[in-house]
Amino acid sequence: MSSDASRQEGISSDLFRRIMDRGSNAIYIVDPDTGDILDVNQKSSDMLGWSRNELLEMSVVEIEDHLSERFTWSEYMDEVRDHPSFTINSTHVRKDGTKIPVAVDHDFLSVDGREFVLATVRDREERDDERDDIIKEYSHYRKLFKNSPVGLLELDLSESFSYLSDLYEEHSENFVHFLDENPEVIDRGIDKIELLDVNKKALEILRADDCRDLLDNLETLITAEARNQMKTDILRILEGSTRRQAEYRTRSLDGEDLHLLIDYLISPDLADDLSEVFVALMDISEQKGARRALRQSEERYRTLFEKAKVGMAEGSLDEEWLRVNSRLREILGYTEEEFLEMESCAVITHPDDLHRDRQKAEALTEGEIDHFSVEKRYQKKDGDYLWTRLTSGLVEPDGDRQPYMISTIEDISQEKEYQDRLEESEKKFRQLAEHIREVFWLTDAEKTETIYVSPASEEIWGLSPEDDHDHPDDWMEQIHPEDREEVTRNVVQRQRAGEYDEEYRIVRPDGEVRWIHDRAFPITDDQGNVVRIAGIAEDITERKQLRQQREAFYDVIPDLFVIA
């Protein structure tokens, strides 16, 4: 043999040995005439416990359990030749005497005119375990599929996409346009879809009884809007995408509108023919409805914020303006950009109001109060200060946005002006009321509360104004018993009508009796409702005494003329 031939034989032997030893099953090369073992791989030694050299000294009969009791070796070979593709289940004996069930496949090889038997031996225990594992995995998969909280469909799209692929090849430049022009193509493609399986959740979402119910009612499920959405998904899958997620607006079999999130999952091994495609369904109608309601709510808030008749603003906890509405821009005179460029709202706050504002804001952010309202002054763009009523609350939004304050800012300059004028008017009134001899009094409409009594009451009634406030019924107790019933009746009947004008006697705490002239009139609001009763009482004792003296004088004049 030449050196090249020897080298080639060495390479072949080495390659053969590597292939043998890397096999996952035990491999035996056997002499068909004698049953002697001519060669084995490492798996054979591992399976039976004998070394390779030990096995090469043995025959098949020594490791096959009870083979010699059933067949002679020549009969065994005849059986194998008669059934060349038949797998023989047998039992092999390990070196330690234990037995192992095996499955044996035989092939006859001829090398250089000599015949050999190639026996491939598999451990049936391992094979059974693998089969059991596969069955368990499949069973587990089916259980997961059926009970998944996500709706699942298993589809065979091979025929549908074979049909669509041919059309795609012809119209690949603008396939979506082709589908627009030929809507029947989508319908034909849908008709060729085979529904392999569907889980309980998908049936629940689509309001279907079973697979047949779905297939019979695809026209209801796949609306015109859904068909239009499908065009893009079909194109992506035809272009080789193995996963596609999209939102579909469709309806269930009972006619209810649905918003579905659909996820196409194509097994990479089956991407060429699409014979197994999983479609995951999630009903996001409720979330979409909530988002729509939230969006509408936000739109209403933005409209209310911008169109409000009072100033409104959003501000950070660092006192920065975040957003201002048109009314606030109008009453203070700044543009939105000027507001947002200010270092803080403190820049235009009157210095005398700043400390109190910050105390209130701190109490709000610390959770001590849920809102606050203060009257404060802002400096307008023209430099003047404007009185406003600021009402603020804390907003702690979900998500990433930081807490902020929402405030209404109302122009109360006219109210303040009116209040100043009212205070000035009240000051003048008190100066007048407190320097006249008559008693000015004011009560509520029901006569249950004394609102005001001028200081002259102390001189006439002998009671201080504070006593009248604390004990509003004491003045009635001071009315002379002979006059009290009539006065009480007239107070009820005439004061609200503006017809009250009475003269009566009172008994002061020191026992002195004095005559009072008391008049009253109602005070009404804009609607004519009586809201107050006002009155003026004066001491007419001296006038009464002079009248009585005059009447007494006139009574004696006739007697004087008689005497004369």
Residue 132: the pLDDT is 64
Residue 340: the pLDDT is 93
Q: How far apart are CA 348 and CA 379, in angstroms?
A: 5
Q: How far apart are CA 75 and CA 68, in angstroms?
A: 10
Which H helix or E strand runs over 122?
strand 114-123
HEC string of 140-151? HHHHHHHHCCCE
| Tally: H helices and E strands in the chain | 24, 20
Which letter, b or e, does each residue of 290-315 get, where b requires 16 or more Cβ atoms within 10 Å of its Cβ? eeeeeeeeeeeeeeebeeeebbbbbb
| pTM across the whole model | 0.42
Strands in 500-507's sheet, in edge-to-edge order, are 450-453, 439-444, 530-539, 513-524, 500-507
CB atoms within 10 A of CB 68: 13
Q: How far apart are CA 33 and CA 266, in angstroms?
A: 54
66-71: which pairs have CB atoms within 8 A and are 24 or more residues apart?
66/91
- Total residues belonging to the chain: 564
Residue type, 49: G
Residue 2: the pLDDT is 45
The pair of three-digit structure tokens given for residue 435, joined into one six-digit string: 């320097």
**8 Å CB contact between 344 and 318:** yes
Nearest to 250 by CA among 284, 296, 278: 284
Residue type, 430: R
Q: How far apart are CA 408 and CA 372, in angstroms?
A: 11
Residue type, 154: E
DSSP bridge pairs for 538:
517
Residue 268: the pLDDT is 66
* Tens place of pLDDT per residue across the chain (564 aa): 444 444 344 434 555 666 666 667 899 999 989 989 999 998 889 989 999 999 999 998 889 877 777 778 888 888 878 776 667 888 899 999 998 888 888 888 887 788 888 888 888 777 666 666 666 776 777 787 888 888 888 888 888 888 888 888 888 778 888 888 888 888 888 888 888 888 888 898 888 888 888 878 877 777 777 877 777 777 777 777 777 788 888 888 888 888 888 888 776 666 667 788 888 888 888 887 777 777 887 888 888 889 889 999 999 998 999 999 999 999 999 999 999 999 999 999 999 999 999 999 999 989 899 999 999 999 999 999 999 999 999 998 877 778 999 999 999 988 888 888 877 877 777 777 677 788 888 888 888 888 888 888 888 888 776 765 566 666 788 899 999 899 888 888 888 787 889 999 999 888 899 999 999 989 888 888 888 888 889 999 888 888 877 776 666 566 555 554
Which letter, b or e, does each residue of 207-234 get, where b requires 16 or more Cβ atoms within 10 Å of its Cβ? bbeebeebeeeeebbbbeebeebbbebb
DSSP letters, 359-428, are HHHHHHHTTS-SEEEEEEEEE-TTS-EEEEEEEEEEE--STTPPPEEEEEEEE-HHHHHHHHHHHHHHHH
Query: Rounded to whole angstroms, what are the CA distances from 450 to 162, 442, 492, 519, 525?
Result: 97, 6, 16, 16, 19
Strands in 311-316's sheet, in edge-to-edge order, are 321-324, 311-316, 404-411, 385-395, 371-379
Dihedral class, residue 523 (left if φ above 0, else alpha if ψ from -120 to 50, else beta)? beta
Nearest to 514 by CA among 483, 558, 492: 483
Nearest to 20 by CA among 54, 48, 46: 46
Q: How far apart are CA 386 and CA 409, in angstroms?
A: 11
3-state helix vs strand vs coil in the chain, percent to 5: 50, 30, 25
Question: At residue 176, what are phi and psi to the nearest 5 degrees?
Answer: -65, -40
